[in-house]
């Protein structure tokens, strides 16, 4: 097939759903700044790959919170999700 090169001129918009690695890689490559949870980018700050900016304006994040009806008879998929979120792997990169 033919290789086509496109130089984008607009902003890069990435959703958290699956684009966290893309956003971090783009910031490391110098595309621009990103706004993510501090815990997710802390390793990149510590390695020197990223530099924190505007720290006085960072907001604290006490969550996440999950609201669901009752503690009895929690459906198995919801129970699995809750258990996963409580693990280190479920807390983000």
Confidence of residue 2 (pLDDT cuts 50, 70, 90): very high
- The first and second tokens of residue 70, run together, are 């009752």
How far is the C-alpha of 62 from the C-alpha of 43, rounded, in Å?
20
In a domain, residue 44? The reply is yes
- The first and second tokens of residue 1, run together, are 């097939």
Domain count along the chain:
1
DSSP helix/strand/coil, 62:
coil
In a domain, residue 7? The reply is no
How far is the C-alpha of 83 from the C-alpha of 85, rounded, in Å?
6
In a domain, residue 34? The reply is yes
Q: Are 44 and 28 in contact (CB under 8 A)?
A: yes
In a domain, residue 24? The reply is yes
Q: 0.85 cut: is pTM over it?
A: no
Residue 90: the pLDDT is 63
Residue span of the structural domain in which 46 resides = 16-91
């Amino acid at each position: 097939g033919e290789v086509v090169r496109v130089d984008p001129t607009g902003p890069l918009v990435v959703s958290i759903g699956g684009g966290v690695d893309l956003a971090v890689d783009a910031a490391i490559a110098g595309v621009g700044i990103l706004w993510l949870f501090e815990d997710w980018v802390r390793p990149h700050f510590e390695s020197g790959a990223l530099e924190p900016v505007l720290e006085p304006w960072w907001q604290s994040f006490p969550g996440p919170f999950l609201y669901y009806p009752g503690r009895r008879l929690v459906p198995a998929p919801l129970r699995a999700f809750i258990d996963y979120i409580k693990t280190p792997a479920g807390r983000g990169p």
